[in-house]
Amino acid sequence: MRWIYWAKLYDSKFQANCLRVRIEQDWWVKGYDAPKDVEVLQLKSGKYAVRYCWE
């Protein structure tokens, strides 16, 4: 599996989850293959990151 990290970090989990849902929905709506997994991670700094992967 190859993880791809979104370039921006977010201050709140809500903001990161909004991006997570957008990634899941945009791929489906536009007809592309959807990522296998999309995750929100909290970093030691307290900020949130989003990553996704394909098989």
Number of structural domains found in the chain: 1
The number of residues in the chain equals 55
The tokens of 9 are what? Answer: 């970090």
In whole angstroms, give the CA distance from residue 47 to residue 37: 20
Domain of residue 49, residue span: 2-54
Query: How much helix, strand and coil, in percent to the nearest 5, is found in the chain?
Result: 30, 35, 35
Biggest CA-to-CA distance, the chain: 36
Phi/psi-derived region of residue 6, left when phi > 0, alpha when psi is between -120 and 50, beta in every other case: beta
pTM given for the model: 0.82
Q: What's the mean per-residue pLDDT of the chain? A: 89
pLDDT in tens, 9-35: 999 999 999 999 988 887 767 777 778
Question: Could you tell me what percent of the chain has a pLDDT over 90?
Answer: 62
pLDDT at 6: 92
